[in-house]
Structure 1
Amino acid sequence: MAWLKVWIGAIFEVMWVIGLKHADDMWSWAGTAVAIFVSFYLLIMAGKELPVGTSYAVFVGLGTTGTILSEIILFGEPIQWMKILLIGILLVGVIGLKMVTKESERKGAEQ
């Protein structure tokens, strides 16, 4: 369940990063503020059950990947194959961090 909080938090991170760039009225700024709050709240809640360093690294990696893919898909940024390769490397690192986080480290984060 804690990893789900990290993933959902990363989705909200992408939303607020996009909001910072494109907000132009009170409602879009309010939505951006809500996304910031939800994003960090979920990260903090996940950090109570997971090692903080690992959960933060996964959170930022997923957020970065989501932001770059959103630029390409939603806003027409040109695809740069080197950027795609680097996103792939980043995702391998994120998945690797998740996989090597031992159960004992997770339980240690609860204390």
Structure 2
Amino acid sequence: MSRNWLYVWIGGLIEIVWVSGLKHSTTALEWIGTVSAIIASFYLIVQASKRLPVGTVYAVFTGIGTAGTVAAEMLLFGEPFSLSKVLLIGVLLGGVIGLKLVTAEPSGKEGSSVREVRL
């Protein structure tokens, strides 16, 4: 796995933290942590998007965040378990994994995705 995909995965995991933080933060320190997680998450996604297809990066990022947030809410915060939610998250994760598998890595050295266009 390339460093750029690692950024996407870590950014998606951090997204779970900040989305849950938006719902559950009550103190100034918790809100600072939530805002810090938002900044870190988006920084990683921006960095990955510079070298990978932005549509795929965004789909994987939001898929990880969505699936993880639903799971975290059920496991950590007492959200009622729902078989239909779990099955639909499985479908979502299948799509995210599929997108990752069919997306080609950029060729050449990193940062070479910007090309000069002459008219």
TM range (shorter): over 0.9
1:110 corresponding residue in structure 2: 113
Q: Distance in 1 between matches of 2:29 and 2:13?
A: 19
The answer as to 2:87 corresponding to 1:92 is no
Q: Give structure 2 stretches of 5+ with no counterpart.
A: 115-119
TM-score (structure 1 length as normaliser): 0.93
User: After TM superposition, where is structure 1 displaced by more than 4 Å over at least 4 residues in a row?
Assistant: none
Superposition map of 1:54-93 within 5 A: 54-93=56-95
% of aligned pairs identical? 56
**Structure number with bigger Rg:** 2
Q: Distance in 2 between matches of 1:5 and 1:110?
A: 17
Alignment size in residue pairs:
109
Give me the CA root mean square deviation: 1.4
**Deviation at 1:107?**
4.0
Q: Is the 8 A contact 1:49 1:107 kept in 2?
A: no
1:12–1:42: structure 2 CA closer, same or farther, 3 Å change rule? Answer: same
Q: Which has the higher helix share?
A: 1
